[in-house]
Structure 1
Amino acid sequence: MTDSLPRLPPLLEAVLGVGTDLELRVTLQHIVDGAAELTGARYAALDIADPGPGQDGLVEVRTAGPSSGGTGRSDGSLGVPVRVDDGSLGVPVRVDEEVFGTLHLADKEGGPFTARDEQLLRLLATQAGIAIGNSRLYETARQRERWIEGAAAVTSALLTGESAAEALMTVAERARVLAGAAAGVVLQATPEGGMEIVTASTLEDPGDIVGTVIEPGSPVLEQLLGGEPVFIDDSATDPRMTTHVRSRFGPSMMLPLQADGRLIGTLALPRRRGERPYTPVEQLLATQFASQAALALVLADVQHRRERLAVYEDRDRIARDLHDLVVQRLFATGMMLESTQRRATGGAADEGAEVHAVLGRAVDELQSTIQEVRTAIFALQQPPADAPTTFRGKVLRETAGVAAALGFQPSVHFTGPVDSRVTEPVAGHLLTALRRKLTAAAHRAGVSRIEVTVDATATLPDGRSGLRLTVYDDGARDDGEGTGTTVTWRSPL
């Protein structure tokens, strides 16, 4: 025969049960369940006065069971139970001298609530306040840990080589998740003196959020451009907010992305209308996150600039080597062949004509090779990450784009001062024609070579100076008559 362990007193069981978990929601449920079991109430509920961080908007915790109609009230100044009638009882739950909420009991089994029930409930409420305080500290610690981990993750992501736009999106998206916000947006200063939303991360379609501008003169703009955080209880009604999207949002934080005195932009984290405001702890953590993210953005930008500088230096070296060694040798070889060609004209007629033709083809090939090497040198001198600004660069970008589909790089030749003679409207028309002709050539069967020639010294049929584009490919002709297709486009200058 075995002796069962003695049962703990009900009050001790309830007190121990209240403090068995650090999760706030679970702790609150233990308080309600313990109060119901301790007093024999069929109904128990904890109405929370002001939900704080980590409570997920929680306003009430209940046990199963119907209410008898009576509702307990509490006297916040006295902090003692108040019995509305014999069927219901209420007591305030205090945390650090602050009324956290009210614990209501109703429908006691076997009769009305007694003075002993009031005393037990008061003792339980005192212990509950301690347990809730511990849970709050735990939730705050977890919240700090999440923000710190989020800042570290953003730093790691930004230093892996993301583009500027991707970096801003990473900051906006991670901050939105950490803050429990409806949106995470990044604003940057405009040349006119305002600020524009350049990046937006939302759970739904951002719609017309991106591109929204805070115009100069807005009351909140001076603080943002000055690098000061702005905290707003309700974006829709705050007179400082002037954008057309403000009506969608409620509480919001607008935090400077600033490092080493440089203002990169502003991180805004608005919540939906009706959601709880940000607490001081959340405001502090988000501000620290923004500072860390700004520093990471600056470091990522510096790293990206160093990488680009290394690419520039390497390309300059290759271009110098090509120019100094290859072009000069090819040019010297071409001069030697031309001299040989002139001497060959003095020999026998048949032999001289044949040698003259061979040497002519060799000279032409050398001149074509020199032109292609010069084109390659020019391409190496273009910024790798930026869109080309010169006409030559734009033509090379179009041919490079079709190279991925072809599996080889088209040959490009320029004749004359194309960058100085070709105007912007004419350049746009030529690029459109080039794009269309390259696409057609890429779809022809058997294409292994494409030659593009841009001639700024051409003469049009009417005698005017013009620009001529010629695209040749060695693929099957559209009419089925052999191979090789040459298409030409002309425009006056």
Structure 2
Amino acid sequence: MTAPSGDSYSVRSTLSQLRLRELLTEVKDRVDQIIDARDRMDGLVEAMLSVTAGLDLDQTLRTIVRTANSLVEARYGALGVRGADGYLTQFVHEGIDAATAASIGDLPAGHGVLGLLFHQPETIRLDNLASHAASVGFPVNHPPMHTFLGVPVRIRDEIFGNLYLTEKRNGLPFTEDDEVIVQALAAAAGIAIDNARLYESARTRQAWIEATRDTATAFLAGTAADAVLAHVVEHARTLTQAERAFLAIDDDPGISAANRRELRIARWSGPGAGPSSPVARVSGTAIGQVLTEGTPLSFDDAADIDLGKPIDRPGPTLILPLHAQGSTFGVLVIVRPISASPFSIEILELAAAFTEQAALAIQLSEAQQRVRELDVLTDRDRIARDLHDHVIQRLFAAGLSLQGTIARTRTPEVRQRLTDVVNDLQDVVQEIRTSIFDLHGSNAQSPGLRQRLEQVIAQHTADIDLRTSLRASGPLSVVTPILADHAEAVVREAVSNAVRHANARTLSVSVDVADDLTITVCDDGTGIPDNITPSGLSNLSRRARDLCGTFTIHPNPDDTGTRLRWSAPLH
């Protein structure tokens, strides 16, 4: 046998060393891959923590896109939110600056490969985006994009949107590892988005609850209705993120909705000075439909809808009925800008519940007001009863006692003074009786005829040295509102003439109610000048003729001053 030579040992040793180096290199590559995988997993965990940390929905969407770009080293990224019609309603993008985005124009609507993920919600990984059959190209000024990775974002069984990534750095294609990482991120993103949506929904509901509470509290606390209605409209506009809103009220609920021709616009909220016309049409309009049916209406685009009120470039529109206890007495119209997203079902439900509660609060406030009025009227009846049963009887007794004293008095001066006192007592009794009639018949909300006449006299004589008196007899409460308006106009004209032309020192107004309403105005002035225009007196005469009454004006019996007498039948 021949012993191996030294060259053979040298060759084997060299081959062994080469094999060892290859193994070591392979081990090193494997270790580098493990380290890289560990780093990417660490990055994925950090990304998941970052994505799920926020509760603001818009900020969460941007964080998802930014994190996805970082994990797979993509230059451009976007998250498209799916709408109810299957197209994009929101497109959050990263990597394209504001100037480039403005030059591109409108954001994607969801056509081509972007929309394919909505119809086929499976991950798409492409080395050349333009080569796909569904590709529709890019708009002008859009940066070039070749490699593409699209992953659907699910919230439970719902497709919320899609995560789009393009242009992996160094011109490399997206790998299977990139796909797995982005899928994991998309799963975490779905949870984060769901949490943010739930949080936002809870905050929105809390805001609506607070608005409902504030409205009900204000109404029931007796705050002026106009101020509360202004808050209702402002709350509705703000909480629905709308641009304009107005409240149209039915001022005469006794008329059926089918016969109603228009509604009064009670409140407006939004930019500008408000509507040019204070009414909204009902017949054949969307407002009329809501008023008649008592159910809300929502329009994604109201450009071709007759809202009953001309509105410049209306976008998504919501019309809500003010409905409570089986009746609809108004509508709330909320309008978003033409470029805004449609109202969601959640917003529709919350706004409808808010208007229902507001309508109920309005009716409860009206009922509360009627109870207060009833309390006032009850108290007035008690006062009137006490006046009749106690005060008048005591005055009668005092008058009878004085009349008995007059018969036993020998001195003429004393007898005359006692007679004057008895007459004064009779006048007082008559005044109290008139007050009793007013207490029984006056409205708790609107001033009575006596109060209106007192206001007229005070308005004309407040700044001059003129002694005035107002005497009323009979039941003023039986005077109809129309006749009361005539009476106020007569007193206003008579007092105005006396103040401007008579140079009087005293002025007395008497109002007597029997079969007719009779108004007598006397002054001690210089009479009616010859050079005045008698248009005002002609108006008084015409008022009397229109009501089948009478009107006279002549000097007082002692030839001083003027005596004006105007009368009209009560019925």
TM-score (norm 2): 0.65
Aligned mate of 1:432, from 464, 485, 492: 492
1:108: how far off? 4.9
Q: Is the 8 A contact 2:487 2:519 kept in 1?
A: no
Counterpart-to-counterpart distance in 2, 1:382 and 1:63: 78
Counterpart-to-counterpart distance in 1, 2:475 and 2:440: 18
**Distance change (3 Å), C-alpha of 1:23 and 1:242:** closer
**Distance change (3 Å), C-alpha of 1:91 and 1:303:** same
- Supply the AA of the counterpart residue of 1:429: A
**Distance change (3 Å), C-alpha of 1:107 and 1:92:** closer
Aligned mate of 1:230, from 297, 303, 308: 297
- Supply the AA of the counterpart residue of 1:197: R
Residues 111-130 of structure 1: matches in 2 within 5 Å? Answer: 111-115=171-175, 116-130=177-191
The runs of 5 or more residues in structure 1 that have no matched partner are 1-5, 441-446, 458-464, 473-485
Aligned mate of 1:468, from 520, 523, 527: 520
Q: Is the 8 A contact 2:460 2:496 kept in 1?
A: no
Matched residue, 2:472: 414
Matched residue, 1:177: 238
Counterpart-to-counterpart distance in 2, 1:49 and 1:200: 36
**Distance change (3 Å), C-alpha of 1:403 and 1:379:** farther
Question: Are residue 307 (structure 1) and residue 365 (structure 2) matched?
Answer: no
Q: Secondary structure at the match of 1:135?
A: helix
Aligned mate of 1:359, from 418, 423, 432: 418
Q: Is the 8 A contact 2:316 2:343 kept in 1?
A: yes
Aligned residues: 446
1:320: how far off? 1.1
Q: Secondary structure at the match of 1:307?
A: helix
The CA deviation string for residues 196-251 of structure 1, in whole angstroms up to 9 with x for no partner, is: 13422302333236322313x5476355323222222333312xx25232455332
Matched residue, 1:444: none
Counterpart-to-counterpart distance in 1, 2:416 and 2:521: 28
Question: Are residue 36 (structure 1) and residue 69 (structure 2) matched?
Answer: yes
1:279: how far off? 1.0
**Distance change (3 Å), C-alpha of 1:152 and 1:420:** closer
Counterpart-to-counterpart distance in 2, 1:198 and 1:190: 18
Question: Are residue 145 (structure 1) and residue 214 (structure 2) matched?
Answer: no
Q: Secondary structure at the match of 1:250?
A: coil
Question: Are residue 262 (structure 1) and residue 327 (structure 2) matched?
Answer: yes
Counterpart-to-counterpart distance in 2, 1:437 and 1:165: 38
**Distance change (3 Å), C-alpha of 1:17 and 1:221:** same
Q: Secondary structure at the match of 1:126?
A: helix
Counterpart-to-counterpart distance in 2, 1:307 and 1:403: 34
Counterpart-to-counterpart distance in 1, 2:297 and 2:167: 49
**Distance change (3 Å), C-alpha of 1:286 and 1:337:** same
| Structure of higher CA gyration radius | 2
Counterpart-to-counterpart distance in 2, 1:118 and 1:438: 98
Q: Is the 8 A contact 2:285 2:307 kept in 1?
A: yes
Counterpart-to-counterpart distance in 1, 2:194 and 2:456: 66
The CA deviation string for residues 167-204 of structure 1, in whole angstroms up to 9 with x for no partner, is: 54444333333223321414325734345134223023
Q: Secondary structure at the match of 1:162?
A: coil
Q: Which moved more, 1:146-155 or 1:359-368?
A: 359-368
1:303: how far off? 1.9
Identity, % of aligned positions: 30
Counterpart-to-counterpart distance in 1, 2:55 and 2:317: 29
Residues 223-302 of structure 1: matches in 2 within 5 Å? Answer: 223-238=290-305, 241=306, 243-302=308-367
Q: Secondary structure at the match of 1:412?
A: strand
Residues 210-221 of structure 1: matches in 2 within 5 Å? Answer: 210-215=278-283, 217-218=284-285, 221=288
Question: Are residue 203 (structure 1) and residue 203 (structure 2) matched?
Answer: no
Counterpart-to-counterpart distance in 2, 1:386 and 1:392: 14
The CA deviation string for residues 368-393 of structure 1, in whole angstroms up to 9 with x for no partner, is: 433443343344335454325x6445
Q: Is the 8 A contact 1:73 1:90 kept in 2?
A: no
The CA deviation string for residues 315-355 of structure 1, in whole angstroms up to 9 with x for no partner, is: 110111112211222233234334433543xx2xxxx2331
- Supply the AA of the counterpart residue of 2:274: P
Q: Which moved more, 1:367-376 or 1:276-285?
A: 367-376
Aligned mate of 1:62, from 71, 88, 94: 94
The runs of 5 or more residues in structure 2 that have no matched partner are 1-37, 131-144, 525-559
Higher share in helix: 2
Aligned mate of 1:22, from 55, 63, 80: 55
Matched residue, 1:386: 445
Q: Which moved more, 1:155-164 or 1:188-197?
A: 188-197
